[in-house]
Structure 1
Amino acid sequence: MLLSKTPDYNVTVVAKHMPGDYDIEYASPWAGANYLPVGKQGTASELYERNTWPELARLATDLPEAGVHFQDTVVYRRAKDVGTATGDWFAELLREDAWFADVVPNFKILPKSALPPGIDGGTAFTSVCINTALYLPWLASQCLRHGVVLKRGIVAHVADAAGLHHSGQRADVVVNCTGLGARALGGVADAAVEPARGQIVLVRNEPGVMVSVSGTDDGEDEATYVMHRAAGNCSDRPPVFTSR
């Protein structure tokens, strides 16, 4: 995106692991990925999510090779999850006056007759699901298309990254995208970054809808979701365990 807007930049991406590697230290090749706007209205998160949707919709419409596709989405609310970690996380998704009702297509409140046992309410809309095994290599190809150099490297201190530019000169700007690695990265050491772990079950099934629930009976910081990945006709059915 940076180079598509300002092609004069000279960009190097440095990473220990690249798309296509599987002996890795990050979860993206296997993780479920979708668009669920959970940011509170009036915050920076809302702005990010408003701006993100049009681009995801463009990919789903125009670029099937990116592995992004539209999917009917349902989010269920259980009254007993109110005030729990996951219930609070899902709160914006389940508001009947949700701010994103005019962002995503087909937003509606589920009628009581459409609710399964144990569910007290819910919303439905059209979202997207992302097959990360396709999307990550596609992102790498877009970098190459715009002249980015992909380079393997390991950085112990954030200041060292500037010296890894492919030109041999020090970079003028360093963008830190280390995620959980920021906990141990010198010059950053962000102890506030915490891991979240999930168990992904990949099954041959076509659920026809992407479903999320505001909690489980196994702990207040757990959630379950089901999504149908583009290409391959398989579904992710993971209980997701979040650390907060």
Structure 2
Amino acid sequence: MMQRDNEATKDIVVIGAGVVGLSTAIRIQKKGGYRVTIIADTFPTDQKTIRYTSHWAGAHHVSGAFSDKRQRVSEMDKETFEIMWKDSEHGGPVQGCFLRHNHTEFRSDGADPTEWLDYMPEFRSVSNNELVPGATHGWTFTTFTLYPPVYLNWLLNRFLTDGGTIVRSQLQHISQAMQGGISGLPQKPDAIVACVGLGARFLGGIEDKEVYPVRGQTIALRAPWVKYGRTLSCADGSYFYMMPRVTGDVLVGGIRVANDWFPVPREQDRNYVLAGVLAICPELAPPEVHAERMPTIDDLRSLIVEEGCGLRPGRKGGIRLEAEWFEASPQTKIPVVYNYGHAGMGFQSSWGSASIALDLLEETLAGGKLDTNKGTN
């Protein structure tokens, strides 16, 4: 790890080991001059759990920046895409993770994604005869899908290989990361970076009640004959997606319900998703079925290899990217940089939001004025 000349190495504690926490820790580490420790109660090496959303992500790169001006202004999604696009090259550093493929975004909700997707390779609008049922417009381009278990563990290994430290612990209050009472943490960290996702609602010292869960339910189908992705966003608010993975599975979904904490798959949600994705892609059914008749959702049930739920960390007002001084004790104040509330866009904006968090960290440690509006609404 590079060290900056004439500056003492500073100790930084990153709270959270999801895709945002790992990316932010690596970005700080790569800058040089920092010793970085990640503290979390769940890591990518653990079995899948409702407490760790990143494992349940799709995850493809299809920016939804229209719903969050900050992502367009700072180009977080674009920066992330450019980094991941390079990583997804044949022979890239993350083997068995990325699959480049054609993707088509269908809509009937009146939104035009050109402004936030026109940088995608081979971007173009589609003709009317290419539309799926329920769509009034469509745009197609090349993107990639990544396989979260491989990607997240690669990030963790990269962090550790470059000298990072991890501590497994469940914090009750953010001050516990500041006061040196947890084994493995620095006694006097120079700053805290909180990438706590949904945990921001409950962690003492933050307790951000603007944070709420957006429940998703995903289904992995064994359908290696499908090598393209599709999404459909409808005027009534319904939304369906399908994305192929390098594993030969196709991940499908369409559930995004705010303030729903239910931790396991529901049968009615499964049927809803299967019906929705079958309507936009009958080819998901086995080729021999599709060749003979119109498939039904029963034809997809035998293809199911996994189902799961994730609680996306939504936040009223969007991602919190700002810094403030926190009173760790009557005599000590420590800067805290916040980077959470990405909802379903954690992977898509991970490297871009990490760059903003690093800028905020450096400005704060340099004694400059905190730019609490940087990257915020």
- Report the TM-score when normalising by structure 1: 0.84
2:253 to 228, 233, 238: 238
Unaligned runs of 5+ in 2: 1-26, 259-313, 315-377
> Greater shift after overlay, 128-137 or 59-68?
59-68
Encode CA deviations 1:185-241: one digit per residue, 9 max, x unaligned.
11111111111112211111032211111038xxx44421001112x2111112222
Contact 1:221 1:242 in 2 (8 A): no
Higher percent of residues as strand: 2
Unaligned runs of 5+ in 1: 83-90
Counterparts of residues 163-242 of structure 1 (less than 5 Å): 163=180, 164=182, 166=184, 168-206=186-224, 207-215=226-234, 220-230=236-246, 232-242=247-257
Structure 2 Cα separation of the partners of residues 178 and 99 of structure 1: 27
Letter aligned with residue 252 of structure 2: R
What's 1:85 paired with? none
Name the CA shift for 1:66/1:191 in 2 (closer, same or farther; >3 Å): farther
Does residue 29 in structure 1 map to residue 52 in structure 2?
Answer: no
Structure 1 Cα separation of the partners of residues 186 and 107 of structure 2: 54
2:76 to 48, 51, 71: 48
What's 2:11 paired with? none
Name the CA shift for 1:235/1:41 in 2 (closer, same or farther; >3 Å): closer
Structure 2 Cα separation of the partners of residues 193 and 66 of structure 1: 34
Cα offset, 1:142, TM superposition: 0.7
> Structure 1 runs of 4+ off > 6 angstroms?
none
Counterparts of residues 27-106 of structure 1 (less than 5 Å): 27-40=53-66, 43-46=69-72, 47-61=75-89, 62-65=92-95, 67-78=97-108, 81-82=109-110, 91=111, 94-95=112-113, 97-101=114-118, 103-106=119-122
Structure 2 Cα separation of the partners of residues 175 and 74 of structure 1: 36
> Greater shift after overlay, 36-45 or 202-211?
36-45
Name the CA shift for 1:153/1:170 in 2 (closer, same or farther; >3 Å): same
Structure 1 Cα separation of the partners of residues 87 and 130 of structure 2: 31
Encode CA deviations 1:80-130: one digit per residue, 9 max, x unaligned.
x34xxxxxxxx3xx33x42431x2100000011211233211101111211
CA RMSD of aligned residues (A): 2.2
Structure 2 Cα separation of the partners of residues 115 and 49 of structure 1: 26
Structure 2 Cα separation of the partners of residues 138 and 100 of structure 1: 27
Structure 1 Cα separation of the partners of residues 200 and 165 of structure 2: 23
Encode CA deviations 1:12-33: one digit per residue, 9 max, x unaligned.
1001011121263123223211
What's 1:16 paired with? 41
Letter aligned with residue 239 of structure 1: G
- Alignment partner of 2:55: what SS? coil
Identity %: 26
Aligned residues: 225
Does residue 137 in structure 1 map to residue 153 in structure 2?
Answer: yes
Structure 1 Cα separation of the partners of residues 93 and 116 of structure 2: 28
Cα offset, 1:5, TM superposition: 2.3
- Report the TM-score when normalising by structure 2: 0.56
Does residue 110 in structure 1 map to residue 138 in structure 2?
Answer: no
Structure 2 Cα separation of the partners of residues 20 and 99 of structure 1: 34
Structure 2 Cα separation of the partners of residues 99 and 32 of structure 1: 20
Structure 2 Cα separation of the partners of residues 180 and 114 of structure 1: 39
Name the CA shift for 1:168/1:77 in 2 (closer, same or farther; >3 Å): closer
Structure 2 Cα separation of the partners of residues 239 and 128 of structure 1: 19
Structure 2 Cα separation of the partners of residues 132 and 21 of structure 1: 13
Structure 1 Cα separation of the partners of residues 198 and 190 of structure 2: 24
> Which is greater in Rg?
2
Letter aligned with residue 60 of structure 1: S
Letter aligned with residue 37 of structure 1: S
Letter aligned with residue 34 of structure 1: H
> Greater shift after overlay, 183-192 or 32-41?
32-41
Encode CA deviations 1:15-68: one digit per residue, 9 max, x unaligned.
101112126312322321111122149943021112111101011012242712
Cα offset, 1:167, TM superposition: 5.7
Letter aligned with residue 117 of structure 2: F
- Alignment partner of 1:56: what SS? helix
Counterparts of residues 121-132 of structure 1 (less than 5 Å): 121-132=137-148
Name the CA shift for 1:192/1:222 in 2 (closer, same or farther; >3 Å): farther
Structure 2 Cα separation of the partners of residues 199 and 23 of structure 1: 14
Encode CA deviations 1:156-182: one digit per residue, 9 max, x unaligned.
111211234736422111010110010
